[in-house]
Amino acid sequence: NFMKEVSGFSVLEQHIKDKLQLDHVIVIPGNSDEHDWVKQELGKACVQFLKSMLNSDQTIAVTGGTSMAAVAEVMKPLKGINNCMFVPARGGLGERVENQANTICAEMAKKANGQYRLLYVPDQLSEESYQSIIGEPSVKEVLDLIHEAAVVIHGIGDAITMAKRRKASEQVLKKIKAGNAVSEAFGYYFNDYGEVVHKVRTVGIQLEDLSDTNCVIAVAGGESKAKAIISYFRQGKSNVLITDEAAANELIRGF
Ligand code: G3H
């Protein structure tokens, strides 16, 4: 593996792989809390990993966030992999446009020479409108593609940071704090034990669906995310972690 040789973090990678019981761990140098270019390096490692395992005609579901935006930024044509389809993993979660799964999905597809479909489900909906929207044939078609995805790529965030960034209501913020939420992924907020404290209601991939997906790649770096990464992996729904040196070292200390 090329990344392993250049990074020289194979011992660290193996240690994390064993502790979190993952199939693959890639550690790249630096701390994404301090430098944006480290996030881009995380992105490059993700693109390289994708190239090594993706097959033609497969569907890739992607989430939102700045780490995923970095993956999109450095995405390249996936040579030898034809007709891949990118879809957003879940509907609206309250992110600004550049951090939304839809935006990221479209950018990735264009750069990878793939196709894409978007999910138009607003963040705040009454039960009635929600039910009628998910019954729309165009939404259903995309939901079917999402459920067929062979690969899922997602970020992991610190719970409070994510709730604030998404302008969660006072009530939701209280719930997240009272439940001692530490991490967030896919719009789910988890505590130290990996239990779900709060979940944003939207369509697309639900946590349970991940068990049926062969390859679920988490892209998360920065020292500040170590606790969140451990918390998320308590439930063990992803099998690949792409992270940076700073998060990796802090992870080891946290075990
Ligand atoms: O969904 C967003 C992730 O949980 C974390 O976002 O990559 O901007 O830290 P981030």
pLDDT in tens, 50-66: 999 999 999 999 999 99
Tell me how far the alpha carbon of residue 225 lies from the centroid of ligand 1, in angstroms: 10
Checking if the pLDDT of 88 tops 90, the result is yes
**Nearest atom (ligand 1) to Cα of 66:** 8
Tell me how far the alpha carbon of residue 67 lies from the centroid of ligand 1, in angstroms: 6
| pLDDT at 212 (0 to 100) | 87
Tell me how far the alpha carbon of residue 64 lies from the centroid of ligand 1, in angstroms: 7
Burial of residue 219 (CB within 10 Å: 0-12, 13-18, 19+) is buried
Separate counts of helices (H) and strands (E) for the chain:
11, 11
The set of protein residues with a Cβ atom below 6 angstroms from ligand 1 is: 63-67, 155-157, 162, 184-185
| pLDDT at 6 (0 to 100) | 53
**Nearest atom (ligand 1) to Cα of 186:** 1
Q: What interface predicted TM-score (ipTM) does this complex get?
A: 0.97
| pLDDT at 156 (0 to 100) | 98
| pLDDT at 95 (0 to 100) | 94
Averaged pLDDT for residues 155-176: 97
Q: What is the DSSP letter of 204?
A: B
pLDDT in tens, 216-236: 999 999 999 999 999 999 987
**Nearest atom (ligand 1) to Cα of 63:** 1
Of 65, 68, 46, 34, the residue nearest 223 (C-alpha): 34
Residue type, 141: E
Higher pLDDT, 123 or 31: 31
Checking if the pLDDT of 1 tops 90, the result is no
